[in-house]
């Protein structure tokens, strides 16, 4: 008792004489290999590398990814799609902040529509992402291209950030853009992006007519694009998060005609797009290992195609198409033990398509996806599995349509860390895709006898990753042997 009483004044005296000292700031710079923590093969590129690769859009940014084939239909303003390991663009899901960009009409997503000025990073997953707490659509494709946008990281001392610039290029390309980030308080912030893209598309070429070289100039390839995108982010005191995004895209593009008998077509075709979507997401994490994700989306896409020289009674072709999507998703995951996590996700999507054609089926497709997934780790071994159930029901106003589909699609992934730099991995995935609206009901031609396209993916690979001191910061090497077997391929 005496020792305790003697110690108390001593502690009190130390508290009275203690002072606060401010140490000089020490900056530590280091680099690591930019590797994703993924069981399946994955590749990633971040915003600071876009300039290094001279990337103008998302397609340019991922052009150097292994196993990727970019199809570019027409340069500036042209459709750009991505195919992974030869399976086709319809087997690649494109996610924007975790929610899929969908096109029920043709199934192919135009990557040129995404403005890189608002992109923080892009990741490509063969199979599916390793995070099992995802919407069911993340499990429903052969590969996933995940685009993450820039989120405001501002402080009270610096509550806003405005950036603007202009890009230029060949064929009269001018691309001004602006971005405004704003912090409202500790919980709320927003970001607004806008840009325009204009190009006349004119370039000179030579036509070889027998022994004579005739100089020509490409015409009717002009492009006028405007896009505005805004998002609001809210973070609660209990770690819950909410975000709301609104996006509008307008494009006015010329489609130059063919050169027939050494003479270019005088009047080109025209294509107009008016696309709008809004999406929202909510995330909640509990201390016991329970996680909830809720997402929703509405999309309205309008396409207008005009051909001034068409062999019909009117002498031209003027077609209008409009598709809408209503989408909702809920995902619940739970960490049973420190090395075992399970999840369940359910998605509902309703897609409609209308047109100004005399004979059109006006289809409506209802898709219900349910997936049960598990991720288990023990020592150096990781095993992940999932079972996806896809239920597709389609109705039309006129005629017949495809039968109802109810398909189960399993996936199994595994990796083993042989030692610190070397990891072995393998996966099997069975997946299918239903025919798109264009494949089933293209104008007056219908082919409702098309069966779904099934694909079996097999992969085995090895990775070697080593961080190094000195001028060479890291060394990374991956090698994969893959085999794809497709049944009822739609061409």
Domain ranges within the chain, ordered by starting residue: 31-147, 148-487
Phi, psi of 139, deg, nearest 5: -100, -5
Distinct helix (H) and strand (E) counts, the chain: 3, 26
Rounded Cα distance between 99 and 282, Å, is: 12
CATH pick for 148-487 out of 1.10.238.10, 2.40.170.20, 3.90.1150.10, 3.30.450.20: 2.40.170.20
182 forms beta bridges with: 160, 190
Q: Which CATH superfamily is domain 31-147 in?
A: TonB-dependent receptor, plug domain (2.170.130.10)
> Which H, E and C letters describe 349-389, residue by residue?
EEEEEEECCCCCCCCEEEEEEEEEEEEEEECCEEEEEEEEE
CB-based contact 220:203 (threshold 8 Å): no
Phi, psi of 17, deg, nearest 5: -95, -5
Could you tell me whether strands 160-169 and 92-96 are parallel, antiparallel, or unpaired per DSSP bridges?
Answer: unpaired
Place of tokens 């997946």: 431
pTM score of the predicted model: 0.88
One-character DSSP codes across 56-78: SBHHHHTTTSTTEEEEEESSTT-
User: What are the pLDDT tens digits along the chain (491 aa)?
Assistant: 434 333 334 344 444 455 566 666 666 555 555 556 678 889 999 998 988 888 888 998 999 898 999 988 766 778 899 999 989 999 999 999 999 999 999 988 999 888 899 999 999 999 999 899 999 999 999 999 999 999 998 998 999 999 999 988 888 899 999 999 999 999 999 999 999 999 988 888 888 877 788 888 888 888 999 999 999 999 998 889 999 999 999 999 988 877 777 777 777 789 999 999 999 999 999 988 999 999 999 999 999 999 988 888 888 899 999 999 999 999 999 999 999 999 999 999 999 999 998 888 999 999 999 999 999 999 899 999 999 999 999 999 988 888 999 999 999 999 999 888 899 999 999 999 999 999 998 766 778 888 999 999 999 999 998 888 878 888 888 899 999 999 999 88
> Cα dihedral sign for 54, 147, 140, 74?
negative
Rounded Cα distance between 40 and 126, Å, is: 6
Rounded Cα distance between 467 and 245, Å, is: 38
Could you tell me whether strands 68-73 and 79-84 are parallel, antiparallel, or unpaired per DSSP bridges?
Answer: antiparallel
Token digits of residue 139 = 């499990």
């Amino acid at each position: 008792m005496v020792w305790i009483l003697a110690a108390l004044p001593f502690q009190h005296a130390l508290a009275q004489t203690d002072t606060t000292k401010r140490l000089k700031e020490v900056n530590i710079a280091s680099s690591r290999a930019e590797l994703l923590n993924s069981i399946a093969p994955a590749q990633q590129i971040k915003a600071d590398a876009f300039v290094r690769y001279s990337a103008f859009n998302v397609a340019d940014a991922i052009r150097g990814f292994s196993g990727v084939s970019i199809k570019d239909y027409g340069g500036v303003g042209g459709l750009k799609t991505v195919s992974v390991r030869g399976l086709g663009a319809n087997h690649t899901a494109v996610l924007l902040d975790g929610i899929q960009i969908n096109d029920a009409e043709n199934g192919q997503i135009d990557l040129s529509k995404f403005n890189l000025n608002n992109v923080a990073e892009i990741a490509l997953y063969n199979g599916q992402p390793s995070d099992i707490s995802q919407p069911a659509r993340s499990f429903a494709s052969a590969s996933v291209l995940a685009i993450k946008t820039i989120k405001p990281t501002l402080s009270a001392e610096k509550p806003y950030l405005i950036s603007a610039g202009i890009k230029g290029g060949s064929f009269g390309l001018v691309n001004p853009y602006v971005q405004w980030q704003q912090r409202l308080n500790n919980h709320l912030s927003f970001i607004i992006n806008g840009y325009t893209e204009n190009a006349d598309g004119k370039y000179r070429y030579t036509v070889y007519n027998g022994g004579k070289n005739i100089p020509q100039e490409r015409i009717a390839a002009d492009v006028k694009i405007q896009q505005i995108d805004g998002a609001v982010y809210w973070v609660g005191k209990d770690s819950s998060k909410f975000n709301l995004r609104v996006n509008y895209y307008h494009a006015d593009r010329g489609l130059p005609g063919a050169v027939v008998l050494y003479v270019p077509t005088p009047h080109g075709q025209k294509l107009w797009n008016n696309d709008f979507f809004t999406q929202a997401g909510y995330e909640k994490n509990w201390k016991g290992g329970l996680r909830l994700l809720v997402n929703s989306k509405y999309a309205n896409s309008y396409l207008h195609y005009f051909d001034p020289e068409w062999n019909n009674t009117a002498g031209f072709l003027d077609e209008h198409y409009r598709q809408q999507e209503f989408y909702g998703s809920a995902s619940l995951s739970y960490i049973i033990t420190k090395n075992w996590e399970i999840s369940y996700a359910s998605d509902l999507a309703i897609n409609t398509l209308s047109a100004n054609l005399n004979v059109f089926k006006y289809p409506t497709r209802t898709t219900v996806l349910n997936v049960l997934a598990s991720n288990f780790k023990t020592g150096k071994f990781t095993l992940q599995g999932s079972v996806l159930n896809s239920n597709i029901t389609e109705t039309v106003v006129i005629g017949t349509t495809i039968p109802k589909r109810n398909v189960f699609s399993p996936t199994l992934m595994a990796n083993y860390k042989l030692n610190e730099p070397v990891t072995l991995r393998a996966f099997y995935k069975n997946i299918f895709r239903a025919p798109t609206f264009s494949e089933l009901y293209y104008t007056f031609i219908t082919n409702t006898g098309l069966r779904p396209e099934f694909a079996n993916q097999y992969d085995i690979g090895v990775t070697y990753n080593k961080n190094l001191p000195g001028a060479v910061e890291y060394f990374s090497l991956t090698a994969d042997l893959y085999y794809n077997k497709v049944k009822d391929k739609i061409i």
